[in-house]
Amino acid sequence: MKTAYLLAFAVALGGCATSRTIIGQDGKPVHKISCDGSVQTIEACYEKAGELCGSAGYDVVNQGGSVNPFFVASGNGFTSGAAVYRTVYARCKGT
Global pTM exceeds 0.85: no
Quick one: the chain helix, strand, coil %, rounded to 5? 30, 45, 25
Q: What is the pLDDT of residue 90?
A: 97
Phi-psi region of 22 (alpha: psi -120 to 50; beta: other; left: phi over 0): beta
Binned at pLDDT 50, 70 and 90, residue 95 comes out as: confident
pLDDT digits (tens, 9 = 90+) for 39-82: 889 999 999 999 999 999 999 999 999 999 988 888 788 888 88
Q: What is the pLDDT of residue 15?
A: 56
pLDDT digits (tens, 9 = 90+) for 2-49: 444 444 444 444 458 999 999 999 999 999 999 999 888 999 999 999
DSSP 8: H
Q: What is the pLDDT of residue 36?
A: 94
